[in-house]
C-alpha cells in the first residue's frame, strides 16, 4: 500500500495514503493486528464503530479479514439520531448493520435506539451497557466541522462527566449528511441526536480514525495543526497515547 507521508502531532500519529481504498485497507490491517493482540490476552473485547460513508473502505476490508475472530467481539456504535423510525435507512445502527454487523458473527451487537421516546432513559440504558463492557478499540471518523461522533463544537466537552448524552446538531454537521447523500435536503436531517461523549471515545486503548475525501481537508488540517480545544473537537485525539489518523491525498491536501 502506497504510504505517501506519516508524522505526529503531539501524541497523534497521522498517515497519508495515495488513495481512499489504500487508506481503508491499511487501517483495517492495523486494526486487525490490534484486535488479535487483545484477543491473545482476553476472552472477549469490545469495539465502538462509526457510521458514515467515510468508513466504507475500512469496514469492507475489515469484514473480509478471515483472521479476525468476531465471535469474541461485542460491537457498539457511537451516535444516533433522535426521532428516526427504527427502520430508517439513514439510522446509523442500520448503516452499520448493512456494512458490518450483518456480515460477520459478532458475539453481540448493541445499538442505540433512534426511535426511543425518552432520550434520557436511552442514554442511561446505553451508558450502562458501555460501563459493563469497557471499550478496547474505537473506529471513528471526523466531521467537516471537526466533530467526533456527534460532539459538534458547541456541545463538545473534553471533561464531560456523562458517558452518553443528548445533543443538538449544528448546521454544518447536518449539511454534511446531505452532502454525503444520506438525506435529500437539510430540512430532512434531524436536529437532535444521542452521542458518546469525548471522554468515552478517548477511553479505549486503541483509536483508529479514518478520514478520506477533499471535504475533510480543513478538518484534517485543524485537527493536526490547530489549538487543542472544542472549536475542533477532533484535536482531543492529540492527547491519546495510541491513536492513528488515516487520510488520503484529498483529505490531507492542506498538510502535504
Would you state the cell numbers that stand for residue 231, as one nine-digit string?
472549536
Radius of gyration over every alpha carbon of the chain, rounded to an integer in angstroms: 17
Predicted confidence band of residue 1 (pLDDT cuts 50, 70, 90): low
Average pLDDT, the chain: 96
Predicted confidence band of residue 57 (pLDDT cuts 50, 70, 90): very high
Tell me how far the alpha carbon of residue 220 is from its chain's centroid. Answer: 15
Would you state the cell numbers that stand for residue 109, as one nine-digit string?
451487537
Residue listed under C-alpha cell 458475539: 107
Residue 225 in this model has a pLDDT that exceeds 80: yes
> Are 246 and 208 in contact, with CB atoms under 8 Å apart?
yes
Region 158-174: mean pLDDT is 96
Residues in the chain: 256
Residue 87 in this model has a pLDDT that exceeds 80: yes
Domains in the chain (CATH in brackets) are 34-213+239-248 (3.40.50.1360)
- pLDDT of amino acid 181: 87
Q: Cα–Cα distance between 241 and 247 in angstroms, integer?
A: 19
> Are 89 and 62 in contact, with CB atoms under 8 Å apart?
no
First to last CA, the chain: 18
Residue 69 in this model has a pLDDT that exceeds 90: yes
Residue listed under C-alpha cell 430532512: 188
Would you state the cell numbers that stand for residue 154, as one nine-digit string?
458547541
Task: Report the 10 Å Cβ neighbour count for 212.
Answer: 28
> Are 182 and 216 in contact, with CB atoms under 8 Å apart?
no
CA angle 166, 122, 229 (to 5 degrees): 30
Predicted confidence band of residue 179 (pLDDT cuts 50, 70, 90): confident
* Burial classification of residue 215, based on how many CB atoms lie within 10 Å of its CB (0-12 exposed, 13-18 middle, 19 or more buried): middle
Would you state the cell numbers that stand for residue 215, as one nine-digit string?
471535504
Amino acid at each position: 500500500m502506497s504510504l505517501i507521508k506519516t508524522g505526529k502531532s503531539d501524541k497523534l500519529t497521522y498517515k497519508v495514503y495515495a488513495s481512499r481504498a489504500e487508506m481503508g485497507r491499511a487501517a483495517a490491517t492495523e486494526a486487525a493486528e490490534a484486535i488479535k493482540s487483545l484477543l491473545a490476552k482476553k476472552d472477549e473485547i469490545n469495539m465502538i464503530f462509526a457510521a458514515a460513508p467515510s468508513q466504507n473502505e475500512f469496514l469492507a476490508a475489515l469484514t473480509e479479514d478471515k483472521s479476525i475472530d468476531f465471535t469474541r467481539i461485542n460491537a457498539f456504535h457511537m451516535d444516533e439520531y433522535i426521532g428516526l423510525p427504527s427502520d430508517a435507512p439513514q439510522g446509523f445502527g442500520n448503516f452499520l448493520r448493512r456494512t458490518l454487523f450483518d456480515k460477520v458473527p459478532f458475539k453481540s451487537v448493541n445499538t442505540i435506539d433512534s426511535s426511543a421516546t425518552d432520550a434520557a432513559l436511552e442514554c442511561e440504558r446505553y451508558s450502562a451497557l458501555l460501563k459493563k463492557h469497557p471499550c478496547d478499540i474505537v473506529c471513528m471518523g471526523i466531521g467537516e466541522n471537526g466533530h467526533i461522533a456527534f460532539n459538534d463544537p458547541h456541545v463538545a466537552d473534553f471533561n464531560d462527566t456523562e458517558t452518553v448524552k443528548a445533543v443538538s446538531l449544528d448546521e454544518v454537521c447536518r449539511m454534511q449528511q446531505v452532502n454525503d447523500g444520506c438525506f435529500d435536503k437539510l430540512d430532512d436531517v434531524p436536529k437532535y441526536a444521542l452521542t458518546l461523549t469525548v471522554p468515552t471515545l478517548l477511553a479505549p486503548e486503541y483509536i483508529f480514525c479514518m478520514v478520506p475525501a477533499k471535504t475533510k481537508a480543513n478538518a484534517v488540517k485543524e485537527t493536526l495543526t490547530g489549538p487543542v480545544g472544542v472549536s475542533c473537537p477532533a484535536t482531543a485525539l492529540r492527547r491519546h497515547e495510541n491513536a492513528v489518523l488515516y487520510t488520503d491525498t484529498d483529505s490531507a491536501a492542506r498538510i502535504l
